Each structure stands twice: as structure tokens, then as C-alpha cells.
Structure 1
Amino acid sequence: MKVSTRSLPALAVLAALTIPATAFAHPHIFAEARLELETSADGQITELRHVWRFDEVFSSSVMLDFDRNGDFVLDNSELASISEVVTDSLSDFDYYTSLTIDGADGSISLPDPIKVSFQDGQLLMFFAVLPKEPLPLDGTIAVGVFDPTMYAAIEFVTDDDMVVTGASADRCSRRVIRPDPDEVIAQNQGSLTEAFFSDPTGNDISKLFATRLELDCK
């Protein structure tokens, strides 16, 4: 049986249906994240791998919503229900993944459902998205991870949580960019209106605030 989207209200995609739009001005959910860009011997990015570990408050709410038999353990069928909800819902938001190549937007796909587990009282999600087109290590490539509604904060605690792996990992220089929110606001005052913060669907300007991994392959 397909789970109602209201069963996971804390996810930004689903919260847009149940929470007033003004609530999206700041995060309500927090997740510590890791991003790995896997490369091949012929100089291509082959996968963008994500791991998200959610805060204990949100994780507890998921447990209450999906623990159908009340045993305080998420069994395989209950975890599968969570996976179905988040996989379907986050597709509208490109799985919180922003890919640009020399400033132009790139496209991604999700070949397999998002995997979920519950460890030490926290919900984990892990999955890999693939470039829809071949993605050679050439030019400037940037990958940001963010919720466009600003309801969830995806946090990379250290720069080592955004890495390049695989056979061509050393081909490009790498840096992690953490935008200063005050600078972003000052530079985009004309765009950051009340309508921006109250739009439950999110918008492209949200990515200006996102931590991103940038590769210089020139």
C-alpha cells in the first residue's frame, strides 16, 4: 500500500503540503551529509554519492509515523515505505542535488530507490545519482546539496565530507565553498523579497546559500 505523503511531514517536499508557507524562512530539519564524486580511469564523473544522517528529533518523528506495529523498530517493510515516499517526493527537487558545468545546469537521474536505515536513534538515507549525459573532468564543475524550500538544512560538517574518489580523483583541483549568508543577501537584495522566503516550492536562488564542491579541471 502506498504511504500517504502526510506520513512524513518533516521532509521539505511533504511539508509544503501541510505547513504554512511562512515556515520555510529557516530550517526545521537538520542532516549531516557526505558527498562523494566517483570518477573513472577515463576521466569521467560516474556517480554522485550521498549519505544523510538526520537529527534525532526528526528521526523520532519518522519512527512514530512508520512504526506500524509499535515495537520501536523499523523493520524492512517499514523502511521500504519510507524509501518509497522520499524517492517519489524528492524527484521533484532533483534529490537536493545541483550540478553545474561551466555555469550551465547539468541533469541527473536516480537509477535506484533511496536506501534508508535507522542507526543509533537516527535516520540515514544513502543513494547515488548519475549524470544524464557523459560528464568529463573538464572545465569548472560544481555540485551543491540543498533544499530549495529551506525547510531542511543539509550540512557538511568538515570539508572532508565533500570529496572526489576513484581512478581520476587527482585530475582536478578541489575546493569546498561555504557562502557567507550576509554576503549573499547583500549581493541579491533585489531578489530576496518576502515572496522568495514564502514560496513553498522553493526557487533557484536558494542554491546561492548552499555549500558546494567545486572542481577546477582547466
Structure 2
Amino acid sequence: MIGLFRRAAVRSALVAAVLALFGLSAAEAHPHVWVTSTSELVYAPDGSFTGVRHAWAFDDMFSTYALQGIETKEKGVYTREELAPLAQTNVESLKDFAYFTFAKVNGKKQKFGEPVDYYLSYKDSVLTLHFFLPLKTPVKSSELMVEVFDPSYFIDFSFAKDKPVSLVGAPAGCALNFQRPTDGTATAQRMSEDNFLSGDNSNYGAMFANKIAVNCP
């Protein structure tokens, strides 16, 4: 079965082909999948940052699409076990998209390992992917930046209104600052316009990144 994100990638390619055919730019495109995230930045007892635990809730239309073909014992009810094969395929597909999660420690890019502790849940017509994304090498730092976004802006990532991001096990005194892309709408719009004028559309989604900053003493 083709995973959620591979399906999205195929659709993205089709959208790009259509845009090119009709002479449209990505500036006239828009997201086709919507994700609402709740995330945790996880720390080890020694104070090192170990990774990010995500819960990504997909919009109801895409949830319905993703569940096509899955057999269940009870109609409309999907257990974690029944969704396990799809969950595995999806997290494996995430690697092709850098997990839509980008981290820097003291300005230096960090590499993530493969997702673990992953599973899918289904409730109120919404499919949610849960997983932990570990750093390949845990690191201690006074400055951490994590961004969540799709560079192509085919998938729109927004964060939950209540408790969108939290720290788990962080050292005492660490301060969390979360910035939604709408917090800098004017700046993002100006930057995106500049990018399109220059013909650089490869990282358009970065203009709509959700930014998480942590400063520790």
C-alpha cells in the first residue's frame, strides 16, 4: 500500500505538471493536505536534547482518502493493530521528506534518525500519526531551534491552539518560544514575493514554517 506521504508526493508532482501546463506559478498553488500538530521536545536526564515527539492529525478528507482499502472488523472503527501496516509505510515514507522537521543547535543543522514508537489512531473522522523522531546523536545546548514545514507547501502544517508545543524533561530554567507562521505574515509575504520574482520556488514552504526556539541557561 502506498503511504500517506508518498501519495502526497505523487499528487504534488501532478499538481506541478498542471501548473506548468497552464503557465501558472507555485505562488498560485495552495496546500492540498492539512495537518494539525501537537509536539514535544524531549530531553534526557543529563539535560541533552534527544528528539521530537509528534502527533499529526490530518484533515478529515485526507483521512478518508488514506483509509481506503483497509479492512476492519467493525465498520467505521479502526484499531491501532489494523492501522499498523499503514503506520509503518507512512513513517518509512517520511524519510524522503526529511520528516518535515528541521533542527539546529547553536546554528548547526542536526540529523534525525528513523522514527520509533509510531502508530496511527482514528477518532471523530480524523486520522492521527504519532511518532518519536530521535536525533542521531543527542546533544546538550543552550540554544535549540526546531522548524516544522513542508518545503513545497503541498502540506500545510499548523499547530493546535491549546498547548501546541511542550518540553519534556528539559533542564530547569529552559524557556520555550513558539512562533506560528501567521505571527509574521507581512514579512513572510514579502519574502515569498521576492523569491518568486527571483524564480526561487524550491523552498517556498519555509515562509510558512512553525518555529520552536528553546533557550537554556
TM range (shorter): 0.7 to 0.9
> What pairs up with 1:36-115 in 2 under 5 angstroms?
36-67=40-71, 71-74=75-78, 78-112=82-116, 114-115=118-119
In structure 2, do the counterparts of structure 1 residues 71 and 47 end up closer, same or farther at CA, with 3 Å as the change threshold? same
Deviates more, 1:14-23 or 1:204-213: 14-23
State whether residues 35 and 49 of structure 1, in contact with CA within 8 Å, keep that contact through their aligned partners in structure 2: yes
Measured on the aligned residues, the alpha-carbon RMSD in Å equals 2.9
- Deviation of 1:117 after TM superposition, in Å, equals 1.6
Is the Cα–Cα contact under 8 Å of residues 63 and 74 in structure 1 kept in the other structure?
Answer: no
| 8 A Cα contact 1:142 1:212, kept in partner | yes
Q: Following the alignment from structure 1 to structure 2, what is the Cα–Cα distance between the partners of residues 75 and 158?
A: 27
- Between the aligned partners of 2:38 and 2:64, the Cα distance in structure 1 is 22
User: What is the TM-score normalised by the length of structure 1?
Assistant: 0.79
Q: CA deviation at 1:151?
A: 1.3
- Change in CA separation of 1:188 and 1:152 when aligned onto 2, cut-off 3 Å: closer
**In 1: Cα distance, 2:37 partner to 2:73 partner:** 30
| Preserved contact between residue 152 and residue 203 of structure 2 (Cα < 8 Å) | no
Trace 1:161-176 onto structure 2 (pairs within 5 A). Answer: 161-166=164-169, 168=171, 170-176=172-178
Matches within 5 A, 1:1-40: 3-4=1-2, 8=4, 12-21=8-17, 22=19, 25-40=29-44
Give 1:187-202 correspondences, 5 Å limit.
187=191, 189-193=193-197, 196-197=200-201
Aligned equivalent of 1:117: 121
Structure 1: segments with no counterpart, 5+ residues: 198-202
Shift, 1:107, TM fit? 0.6
Give the distance between the partners of 2:209 and 2:119, measured in 1 at CA.
Answer: 24
Partner of 1:200: none
How far does the alpha carbon of each residue in 1:35-56 deviate from its partner, in whole angstroms, 9 at most, with x for none?
A: 1011123111123100011111
Cα 1:52–1:11, aligned 2, differ >3 Å: closer, same or farther? farther
Equivalent position amino acid for 1:13 in 2: A
Alignment partner of 1:156 is 2:155: no
Q: 1:9 to 1:69 in 2, by over 3 A?
A: farther
C-alpha deviations, 1:64-111, integer Å up to 9, x for none?
243489944435565123213312221111211110112221111124
Question: Residues 61 and 188 of structure 1: is their aligned pair in 2 closer, same or farther, counting only changes over 3 Å?
Answer: closer
SS in 2 for 1:38: strand
Distance 1:92 1:194 in 2: 27
2:37–2:55 CA contact under 8 A, matched in 1: yes
Structure 1's 9 and 161: CA in aligned 2 closer, same or farther, altered over 3 A?
A: closer
Distance 1:164 1:127 in 2: 16
Question: Any unmatched runs of 5+ in structure 2?
Answer: 20-24
CA contact (8 A) 2:115 2:131 kept: no
What is the percent sequence identity of the aligned residues? 25
Deviation at 1:34, TM superposition (A): 0.7
Amino acid of the structure 1 residue aligned with 2:159:
F
Instruction: Give SS of 1:133's match.
Output: strand
